[in-house]
Amino acid sequence: MTDVFAMTHSENGSAGRTDHEQVVFCQDTPTGLRAIIGIYSTALGPGLGGTRFYPYAAEAEALADVLKLSKAMAYKNSLAGLDLGGGKAVIIGDPAQLKTEPLLRAYGRFIASLGGRYITACDVGTNCEDMDIIGRECRWVVGRTTANGGAGDSSVLTSLGVMHGMRAAAEHAWGSTSLRGRVVGVEGVGTVGHRLVEHLIEAEAQVVVCDINSGAVADIRARYPEVRAADDLAAEKLDILAPCALGGTLTEQLASVLTARIVCGAANN
């Protein structure tokens, strides 16, 4: 385990320090584990944030993601009134190929070495069963299966929270919480996005989906033939955009062409 000061690089290449308390690089050669844990702040309590398992193209890309995500978690936890700080972690690699019990347990030992400064949970590429395995090595884990005393799949509550936010925004924008007939574009139909589509269909919205995973789109359309697929939601005439992918969706370029009155989704950053 290597503990370092986090550094970022601006567009002109100059380096600058972040405000993070701690950034830890973790490596376990026998299992192939390469992970980064970022703790932005523990001013309100231990840094809480999920573990993202993703095939980043480079370590610098993974570091940039964990720095942004852990900072966002500090603000999210504070706004929610929780006695928790902001943390996040990423495991570098394709979970379909690299994820094993020994790797997750090695990762759990790294979390344990932080002595409770960081509490992990599910994120992209990890699930409740993974948290159960990590929890065999440390106690700073939430989001375990219900059989192991956890709350289970967090996407159930996340998608419901997005739906409530969408209805509240609709009332502000159009004077009614009804989404009937509204065109909603959902970017990313993983566990959260898939459940959100279910809620939207029940609300009689018109749904358009977009995902780099064609299989995920096919699954949605097989269940709900009325759902349309699009390669680029920016080109669609939408009432609401729901970013539920990895992040970085709402750029100045998109904002300049976006037709949606409301942006309400589950994606960070």
In the set 68, 88, 99, 237, the catalytic residue is 88
pLDDT for the residue 153: 86
Q: What is the dihedral of CA 64, 67, 69, 74, to 10 degrees?
A: -170
Say if strands 47-48 and 118-119 run parallel, antiparallel, or are unpaired.
parallel
Average of per-residue pLDDT values in the chain:
92
Residue 198 has pLDDT above 60, yes or no: yes
pLDDT for the residue 12: 36
Residue 3 has pLDDT above 80, yes or no: no
CA atoms within 13 A on the CB side of 97: 6
pLDDT for the residue 6: 46
Going by C-beta distance under 8 Å and a sequence separation of 6 or more, which residues neighbour residue 46? 84, 85, 87, 116, 117, 118, 119, 140
Residue 71 a catalytic site member = no
Highest mean predicted confidence (pLDDT) among 83-87, 123-127, 190-194, 256-260: 83-87
pLDDT in tens, 88-128: 999 999 999 999 999 999 999 999 999 999 999 999 999 99
Q: Can you give the pTM of this predicted structure?
A: 0.85
Domains and CATH numbers, the chain: 2-148 (3.40.50.10860), 155-263 (3.40.50.720)
pLDDT for the residue 1: 52
pLDDT for the residue 15: 41
pLDDT in tens, 210-243: 998 889 999 999 999 999 999 888 889 999 999 9
pLDDT for the residue 4: 47
